[in-house]
Amino acid sequence: MAKTGKDLEVRREQSAFQAESTRARQVFIPRTDIIEKTDSIILIADMPGVDEQHMDITLEKGVLTIYGTVDAAYHQECRVAYAEYGIGDYRRSFRVTDEIDQDKIEATVKNGVLRLILHKAEQAKPKKITVKTG
């Protein structure tokens, strides 16, 4: 069984630039790790500044979208002396195939990291076939 690349069940659907945003602010694509385990797929996304109340996860027509809103109100009384990162929201979409049990997706947010556990559907789990002697 190929372990990398070819049998991706979760693929990047689109970049954030393709769709117009309804909010006038920058939208970033969060860096994401995707790990395949035997009975699940783990998706880990870096979304600093987002907590569980500001995380929006939707699954529609086989497309999983994560959207994190960042409260930009902070440090407004200060002057920016040096900047390496911009403040904005995060969005990224992934296509989810039938091999994922779409009713069993777990999500947790801790220290600005979103962790999604996508359980594989029963039929997609690897099965061992024993060969009988004839």
With a CB cutoff of 8 Å and minimum separation 6, the contacts of 51 are 109, 112
Which residue in the set 23, 61, 79, 132 belongs to the binding site for other proteins (CB under 8 A)? Answer: 79
Q: Which of residues 96-115 bind other proteins (CB under 8 A)?
A: 110-113
Q: Are 94 and 33 in contact (CB under 8 A)?
A: no
In the complex with other proteins, the residue whose CB is nearer, 22 or 38, is: 38
With a CB cutoff of 8 Å and minimum separation 6, the contacts of 55 are 47, 66, 67, 68, 69, 107, 109, 114
How many beta carbons lie within 10 A of that of residue 91, not counting itself?
21
Return the range that interacts with other proteins (CB under 8 A); candidates 13-21, 36-44, 56-64, 95-103: 36-44
In the complex with other proteins, the residue whose CB is nearer, 77 or 103, is: 77
* Euclidean distance between CA atoms 116 and 37, whole angstroms: 13
Which residue in the set 27, 34, 107, 117 belongs to the binding site for other proteins (CB under 8 A)? Answer: 34
Q: Using CB under 8 A as the criterion, which residues of the chain lie in contact with other proteins when the complex forms?
A: 3-5, 8, 10, 31-38, 41-42, 44, 46-51, 75, 77-85, 110-113
